[in-house]
Amino acid sequence: MSTYNSEPVCKVCGAVATLPVYGPDMCQACSDAAWARIEARAKLEEMPLSFEKVITNHRRETIEYEILLGTGGPADRVYVITDFSGAIESAKYQFQDWFQPWTTAEGQDSELVERFAAIVGFYEEG
Ligand SMILES: [Zn+2]
């Protein structure tokens, strides 16, 4: 038996929720979208091989981190700089061929790379 006083309305999109499978507050489409986001986020979180603090720069009051994505031929990573509150100042996708220095990829979507860095990293206060 339904315990609704009126038609259940999706709290995400406002549609009348006909099949509230995962709870009474979301329609099926919004529930599917929410699960897709959870799965996509889990995949992102599995991407890094390692996450390491590289250096604390006391003069600039920044902390630098490396999110290693792949090793060798070329290796790739996201290099992150935060301020002392742990807020990301920059995140750059970089690659490195054997015996070459790290190189920042051209034409990257810096906002997207920063969002990725925010999801997979743990940034401490300086
Ligand atoms: Zn909905």
Residue 10 Cα to ligand 1 middle (Å) = 5
Sign of CA dihedral 101, 106, 111, 113: negative
Residue 16 Cα to ligand 1 middle (Å) = 8
For residue 119, what are its two tokens?
């999801």
Beta strands (DSSP E) in 1-126 are 50-57, 62-70, 75-83, 88-96, 103-104
Residue 33 Cα to ligand 1 middle (Å) = 9
**110: Cβ–Cβ under 8 A, 6 or more apart, which residues?**
90, 91, 92
pLDDT tier, 24 (very low <50, low <70, confident <90, very high otherwise): low
Burial track 99-125 (b if 16+ CB lie within 10 A, e otherwise): eeeeeeeeeeeeeebbebbeebbebee
Residue 29 Cα to ligand 1 middle (Å) = 6
pLDDT computed for residue 19 by the predictor = 55
In this predicted model, what pLDDT tens digit does every residue of 32-87 receive, in sequence order? 999 999 999 999 999 999 999 999 999 999 999 999 999 977 999 999 999 999 99
In this predicted model, what pLDDT tens digit does every residue of 100-119 receive, in sequence order? 999 999 999 999 999 999 99
Reported pTM: 0.76
Return the domain boundaries, the chain: 1-43, 50-120
